[in-house]
Structure 1
Amino acid sequence: MEESRLLNTLKEYFGYESFRPLQEKIIASVFEGRDNLVIMPTGGGKSICFQLPALLLPEITLVISPLIALMKDQVDGLTANGIPAAFLNSSQTENQQQDIFKRIEKRELKLLYVAPESLQVIDRFLSNGKVSLIAIDEAHCISSWGHDFRPAYTQLGYLKKRFPETPVIALTATADKATRQDICNQLNIPNAEKHIASFDRKNLSLEVRPGIKRFEQIEKFITPRKNESGIIYCLSRKTTEELASKLKAKGHIVEAYHAGLPHDTRIQIQDDFINDHSKIICATIAFGMGIDKSNIRWVIHYNMPKNMEGYYQEIGRAGRDGLASDTLLFHSYADVVQLQKFASNAGNSEVQLAKLDRMKQYSESLTCRRKILLNYFGELKQEDCGNCDICRNPPKFFDGTIIAQKALSCIYRLKEQEPLTTVIDVLRGAQNEAVFSKNHQSLKTYGIGKETSWQHWQNYLIQLINLGYIEIAFHRHNNLQLTEIARNVLFNGEKVQVAKVPDRKAILKNTEEASTGTTNSLFERLRELRLKIAHEEGIPAYLIFNDATLKEMEKERPMTDEEFIQINGVGRKKMQDYGYQFIKEIIAFSKKKRKPKKKKKGNTYKITLELYREGLSVEEISKKRELAITTIYSHLAKLYTNGEEIDMSRLIDKNEIESVKKAREKLGNPETLKPYYEHFEESLDYWTIRCALAVLDKEEVPGE
């Protein structure tokens, strides 16, 4: 496949000028008929690896996807880009499915999304040769080694036998080495080319905080981000509901989501979030796999996740558009103990406990967090990232030998038969039942650390656990025990360096320093316009344009179609559907702010105007300037709006203007050109409609 054709298709349908790393190589491999395994982080551009080939391959592309919401989201996005696609699953009526079967027979579809359970339903409509490509999304679901095993995926191995000549592309965001090989074996593609993209999501900031006053910290974190979408992950259903209730009481637009809610309620909550009716979701991990929302700006973990794969996938739901986004994880000893119990009761407890231990090490680390995260997925990184809490505020160490001796001695005096909370109570000289019932107040170590706060002792003990001086006996009621090397500190004078505990007030203050953005910026104006159009069309706002595209519009200020289509994320169809209104908003904002126009843009209008005054037709100007006819129409419409003497009767007749005027009244003055285009059943093109609206808008200006 020629590179120029691939790039033209990429811009025409997806709005991008160039491929991201690995995309072109993967697509080339597909066209060569090879099987492929793609490991690419969330937001890395996996979908284009099969969606773009689907447009150019002769027959239909079959996409296996695990969730109804994910299918609908993908198909809505493809349709918005002018790509014929459909999904088939159990949520549809028989008539809806029959319509899809007819479209398959007529070869009207380029992509068909199917749930694993629905494969047999469509089998009779397909034969070897009628399927150009098979894409298996969320491929880690097939492997019991993976973190999200789904039994329905195990039947997918038959696809390669059913369609031996059809290339298979398996895609996932998270899979370690064992899982990768298992995916290939189970799908009968053992020789698949493996493409592993970088797991480094540089736009995500990483932060871990002690789990103290969590609600206060969360409230201060989200208040300056009230216009942004975010997810708060919780370990239990009860926590999601309690947290959502507290945040609602503070005036935030928030909903709780968990598997215990009725199906219809969950669908509604998810739709409201996707469509920006609600900004925050407090959820268990049941939420999010089917979400392709690109403008989630932050993710908070109220509790520690049970493994690094889950954590990476969940934080990966933020910043899919590539813009800076924040992630925050609260870590507490209580979470570790609870997750330890869950893992111990799992079928593969040994694996679960090992994964939990790695998650714990990440949370308690005093070195660059991104290094640890990337190392886990086999991507070795030498330099610090500069975008995590450790890099921004490196810990300060001091001689903590006396602190360590007090703690280790207390554990020894307690005969290694008490958990962390009781050890701290004895060190601080607490007068409670846990101490008095066992006569711990008579120990020599009782009260020897009363000058140190409870939270500081907790932090120091966790550091000593990480340093290997103490271990948690999970099988003995989580009692703290001394290791062999603890003797070196107690009896041989070994020194211990301990990190200074961050000041709690400083932690809470940091939450107030988030950037809020200006509410009267062009970006905000464009967001409001996008949301208005999205509500009118009944689709999620990010399917119109994502935040990164709006940011580029804010920076570049495109005022013609030629300039507008140069913006990343703007394809031909989206320019036709939405360009008129967005350009109009940019021009209005720029006039209000009295921004000086770029010289280059002034020149391009001037050249078009001079050629027009010489009597050249639109077609002649287009040919002479080597610009699209639509761009020349755009120039002339703008020049007319700005007061230049343009004879619009040369561009559009009075009957067409009158027709558009009647349509505007009937349609209720819609903000985009698309309703007009559909109203006229495509008999009037976009540019005629646009010119007519320019005339009508000017007629309504007083004094004109």
Structure 2
Amino acid sequence: MNKDISLTGYLQQYFGFSRFKGQQEEAVKSVLEGKNTFVLMPTGGGKSLIYQLPALLLDGTAIVISPLIALMKNQVDSIRGMQTEDYVAHFLNSSLSRAAIQEVKSDVQAGRTKLLYVAPESLTKEDNIEFLKNINISFYAIDEAHCISEWGHDFRPEYRRIRPIVEEIGQAPIIALTATATAKVQHDIQKNLGILDAEVFKASFNRANLYYEVRPKVKPESQIIRFIKQNEGKSGIIYCLSRKKVEEIAETLQVNGIKALAYHAGMDAATRSGNQDKFLMEEVDVIVATIAFGMGIDKPDVRFVIHYDIPKSLEGYYQETGRAGRDGGEGKCITFYSYKDIQKLEKFMHGKPVAEQEIGKQLLLDTVSYAESAICRRIILLHYFGETYKQGNCGNCDNCLNPKEQIEAKDEVVRALDAILEVNEKYKGEHIANILIGNKTAAIKSFKHYTLKSFGAGKDHDERFWNAVFRQSMIKGLINKDIENYGLLKVMPKGHEFLQSPTSFMLVKNHEYEEEEESSGSGGAPSGATGGDPALFAMLKDLRKKIAKRKNLPPFVIFQDPSLADMSIQYPITTEELQNIQGVGQGKAQRYGKEFLELIKKYVEENEIERPEDFVVRTVANKSKMKVFIIQSIDRKIPFEDIANAKGVEVREVISEVEAIVHSGTRLNIDYYVNDVLDEEHQEEVFDYFREAESDSVEEALAELGEDEYSEEDIRLMRIKFLSDMGN
């Protein structure tokens, strides 16, 4: 290292930057001086430079421990891109061939390699330990260090073994780096690595350019497509919790003309890294991924991060949203929230060790509080990471842009503090809320807490209200959650002062998120369908009646009520758009669509209606394989029982599928099966009934024709035959 060149000079020479960001320079100096160093900087804060620059300047090779193969490759490519020789940086992991491993080792032994990236698993291999014992190590850098802590959002047991292995290979300074860590996680990392004496560099967690919003999870696919179409050509990431959902969403986006690809750990490595490269090279705009994607992905212009599923912890959420707007430009972070998802996540925890379940529940509760709270999202996030956000309104989150009503809650805060103290600060928020609302849970019965003065003292409010009181009292510093002890609530000195002389406490009421209704599984149409636009709905019904009369068919054969209702919400004006209407397939759209489309188009123009932009949401029938199988089986005259057995379902489900196929306009000839079930006379009777019927209701048909004569299945089969023969 040339003493005549300043650090900024080296920064310019190696990385092309004219100045350091934030605390980078002080942290680099700490590493150069051989000190153990702990670096906590948000995503995009420039953590990697803190070990890369010293590695290039010091004698020997820096060992960088990194959790993901994709991340290592990304980092190595970027360093090589700034240097003249490739051998300056290498990675050593399971993706390399024998020959490639040999080449890496000889470059390291020759002292040419300045940075060697290894996975924690590779570090534990005996031959790698022997090899590393014989090289000059400048320092160890542990990237994504939060993986060490079981309180971190991405705990990896193998990270716990780093310290003993470092001792076996040979001592050198340790640099731990992470983008997210609460005080608890930070202490855990330093203790486990044996660097409690480390120089600590902490940047602010506030990313002022990021916009945070939580939306109710109602028709999320439509909302996502609408959002992406409004932000055409911008790069974005959509996170889902399951691989199956990743595949489904990616497919739905593709059929809606959006350049999107999937990424998850279940894909083969080549496809996965190929998809990642396409995203980095801007061949695709959107990556739909599980959380495996994005660690260290250095794409500065990600403009939005959408969470289809709520993350398991606020740390995970913060890290994932932190991949937006790393260049300081626009970054929109939108999360879909439904309490059902939280219940699913809780179910996943069953079967894990009790301590792990408790930690998981605590982390989840913080996420729920964040989602349901109506106070500034930044205040909550920064408070979680032990930082105080001074402004009352950040002007860049949904809660600040649309403030919710506030109520005076001085009296309620007093009741909450009294209840916490009455149980000697030995219980969690959930239990204290149950005491206040007077809910005799098993725990309250066994501790006889129904005898407390506080029991039922807050029954004028519900549990969610009391959770808001706890959360906002925490942010104001009146109480604290003792994370070491499973989140027991403790009253702080400020809380005791508040009890002595209560002052005004304005509480922001929580959000109440609407839930999406479960769709009915029956093949028949939902009853009582009503339109979005009553005038148009009535006109469509009149037109249907006219066409039905002309064709001598019952109206329901043309289009069913739910289809008309959907048309009056979506205003389709092309055949393609009509095919996206509930219960309308290609056949129906082409056979009956023309007059309906003309009517809607005229209505839209005359009334100057703005059609919903997300209208053309094409759906991928996840049952499409099943439908194709059924159509092919019926063509081959295979009995429904055999079709059901082949697919491991009930005959009723096969009939429901067939109903859906026929409703959307595909003609199926099921005579071979119906003839086995009903004789000719009975078939004619049901057929004639439907010819005259006002509706296609199975219940009404059974009441008219006699339940002793026909089963529900008979009527459904005949209704399919009738619709297929007459309508399709």
Measured against aligned partners, the alpha-carbon deviations of 1:231-277 in whole angstroms (never above 9, x if no partner) come to 11123333222222221121001123333333433333223223222
- SS in structure 2 opposite 1:21? coil
Report the residue type matching 1:352 in the other structure. G
- Post-superposition CA distance 1:518-553 (Å, at most 9, x none): xxxxxxxxxxxxxxxxxxxxxxxxxxxxxxxxxxxx
Query: What residue is the counterpart of 2:382 in the other structure?
Result: 374
Cα 1:49–1:71 change in 2 (3 A) is same
- Partners of 1:496 and 1:130 in 2: how far apart? 59
Give 1:64 shift: 1.1
Structure 1 distance, partners of 2:319, 2:286, is 18
Shift of the 498–291 alpha-carbon distance from structure 1 to 2, 3 Å rule, reads closer
Cα distance change of structure 1 residues 331 and 128 upon mapping to structure 2, 3 Å threshold: same
Residue aligned with 1:252, SS: coil
User: Residue type of the partner of 1:175?
Assistant: A
Partner of 1:237: 243
Q: 2:161 aligns with which of 155, 166, 171?
A: 155
How far off its partner does 1:49 sit? Answer: 0.5
CA distance in 1, matches of 2:134, 2:99: 26
Q: Quick check: which has more Rg, 1 or 2?
A: 2
User: CA, structure 1 residues 386+54, in 2 after alignment: closer, same or farther (shift >3 Å)?
Assistant: same
Contact map agreement 1:398 1:500 (CA 8 A) in 2: no
Question: In 2, are the aligned partners of 1:257 and 1:269 still within 8 Å (CA)?
Answer: yes
**Which residue identity lines up with residue 71 of structure 1 in the other structure?**
M
Look up the match of 1:111. Answer: 115
Q: 1:68 corresponds to which letter in structure 2?
A: I
| 1:147/1:501 CA distance change after superposition, 3 Å | closer
CA contact (8 A) 2:160 2:192 kept: yes
Aligned ranges 1:95-244 → 2 under 5 Å: 95-119=99-123, 120-127=126-133, 130-162=136-168, 166-244=172-250
**Alignment-derived partner of residue 41 in structure 1:** 42
The 2-side partners of 1:89 and 1:497 are apart by 51
What corresponds to 1:341 in structure 2? 347
Task: Give the superposition deviation at 1:165.
Answer: 5.3
Please give the per-residue CA displacement for 1:134-168, whole angstroms capped at 9, x wherever unaligned: 11111122222322121222221135424665211
Residue-by-residue CA offset, 1:89-143 (whole Å, 9 max, x unaligned): 1111111111112212222221111122223444444447711121111112222
- 1:301 is matched with 307
Q: 1:318 aligns with which of 315, 324, 342?
A: 324
Q: In structure 2, what is the Cα distance between the partners aligned to 1:416 and 1:143?
A: 35
- The answer on 1:361 being equivalent to 2:365 is no
Residue pair 1:68, 1:89 contacting (<8 A) in 2 also: yes
Alignment partners' CA distance in 2, 1:499 and 1:142: 34
Q: 1:236 to 1:126 in 2, by over 3 A?
A: closer
Q: Give deviations 1:622-670, integer Å, cap 9, x for gaps.
A: xxxxxxxxxxxxxxxxxxxxxxxxxxxxxxxxxxxxxxxxxxxxxxxxx
Runs of 4+ displaced beyond 6 Å: 499-505
Structure 1 distance, partners of 2:378, 2:79, is 33
Deviation at 1:326, TM superposition (A): 0.7
> CA separation in 1, counterparts of 2:511 and 2:277?
45
Kindly state the Cα deviation for residue 361 of structure 1 after the two structures are TM-superposed.
0.7
Counterpart AA for 1:239: K
* 1:288 paired to 2:260: no
Q: C-alpha separation between the residues in 2 aligned to 1:33 and 1:398?
A: 55
State the alpha-carbon separation in 1 of the partners of residues 511 and 184 from structure 2: 39
Say if 2:369 and 2:468, in contact at 8 Å, map to a contact too: no
**TM-score normalized by the length of structure 1:** 0.56
Residue 68 of structure 1 corresponds to: 69
Letter in 1 for 2:395: G
The one-letter amino acid of 1:372's match is I
Q: Given residue 339 of structure 2, which amino acid in structure 1 is its aligned partner? A: Y
Whether 1:20 aligns to 2:28 is no
**Cα distance between partner residues in 2 of 1:194 and 1:398:** 41
Distance 1:209 1:241 in 2: 22
Does the CA-based 8 Å contact 2:137-2:172 persist in structure 1?
Answer: yes
Q: List per-residue Cα deviations over 1:33-86 (Å, max 9, x = no partner).
A: 110111111111100101111111122211111111111100110011116211
Q: Aligned partners of 1:89, 1:129: CA distance in 2, in Å?
A: 18
Give the Cα–Cα distance (whole angstroms) in 1 for the partners of residues 187 and 205 of structure 2: 18
Question: Per-residue deviation at 1:220?
Answer: 1.5
Unaligned runs of 5+ in 2: 410-433, 441-460, 471-505, 516-531, 533-569, 571-609, 615-728
Identity fraction in percent: 46
- Residue in structure 2 matching 1:93, options 93, 97, 122: 97
Q: Deviations over 1:210-238 (max 9, x none)?
A: 11221221112111322121111123333
User: SS where residue 135 of structure 1 aligns?
Assistant: strand
- Which has the larger displacement, 33-42 or 142-151? 142-151
CA distance 1:499–1:397, shift in 2 (3 Å): farther
TM-score (norm. length: structure 2)? 0.55
Secondary structure at 1:299 match in 2: strand
Please state if 1:386 is matched with 2:395: yes
Q: Measure, in 1, the Cα distance between the counterparts of 2:241 and 2:304.
A: 18
C-alpha displacement of 1:314: 0.9
Check the 8 A contact 1:306/1:355 in 2, yes or no: yes
Does the Cα contact within 8 Å between 2:44 and 2:326 map onto a contact in 1?
yes
Is the Cα–Cα contact under 8 Å of residues 372 and 510 in structure 2 kept in the other structure? no
1:395 aligns with 2:404: yes
Query: Displacement, 1:10?
Result: 0.9
Contact 1:207–1:389 (CA under 8 A) maintained in structure 2: yes
Amino acid at match of 1:211: K
Task: Report how far residue 171 of structure 1 moved.
Answer: 0.8
CA–CA distance in structure 2, aligned partners of residues 398 and 32 of structure 1: 55
Which one of 267, 271, 276 corresponds to residue 273 of structure 2?
267
Q: Distance in 1 between the 2:228 and 2:256 partners?
A: 11
- Cα distance in 2 for residues equivalent to 1:337 and 1:78: 44
Q: Which amino acid in structure 2 is aligned with residue 166 of structure 1?
A: A
Task: Give the C-alpha shift of residue 323 in structure 1.
Answer: 1.8
| Equivalent residue runs for 1:49-68 within 5 Å | 49-68=50-69
Whether the aligned pair in 1 keeps the contact of 2:372 and 2:511 (CA below 8 Å) is no
Q: Letter of the 1:301 partner, please give it.
A: H
The reply to whether residue 257 of structure 1 matches residue 258 of structure 2 is no
| CA distance in structure 1 between the aligned counterparts of 2:38 and 2:511, rounded to whole angstroms | 45
Shift of 1:25: 1.0
C-alpha distance in 1 between matches for 2:253 and 2:216: 20
* Letter matched to residue 108 of structure 1: R
Give, in whole Å, the separation in 1 of the partners of 2:153 and 2:509: 35
Q: Pick closer, same or farther for the CA change 1:152–1:228 going to 2, 3 Å.
A: same
Contact 2:143/2:177 (<8 A) preserved:
yes
Q: Check the 8 A contact 1:232/1:283 in 2, yes or no.
A: yes
> 5 Å matches for 1:636-655?
none
Cα distance, 1:294–1:184 mapped onto 2, change above 3 Å: same
2:674 corresponding residue in structure 1:
none
Q: When the two structures are aligned, how many residues end up with a matched partner?
A: 431
Query: Per the alignment, in what secondary structure is the counterpart of residue 195 of structure 1?
Result: strand
| Distance in 2, Cα, partners of 1:187 & 1:502 | 43
Q: 1:86 to 1:358 in 2, by over 3 A?
A: same
Partner amino acid for 1:134? Y
Kindly indicate whether the alpha-carbon contact (under 8 Å) linking 1:87 and 1:112 is maintained by their aligned counterparts in 2.
yes
Aligned mates of 2:52, 2:111 — CA distance in 1: 16
By relative contact order (CA 8 Å, sep 6+), the higher-ranking structure is 1
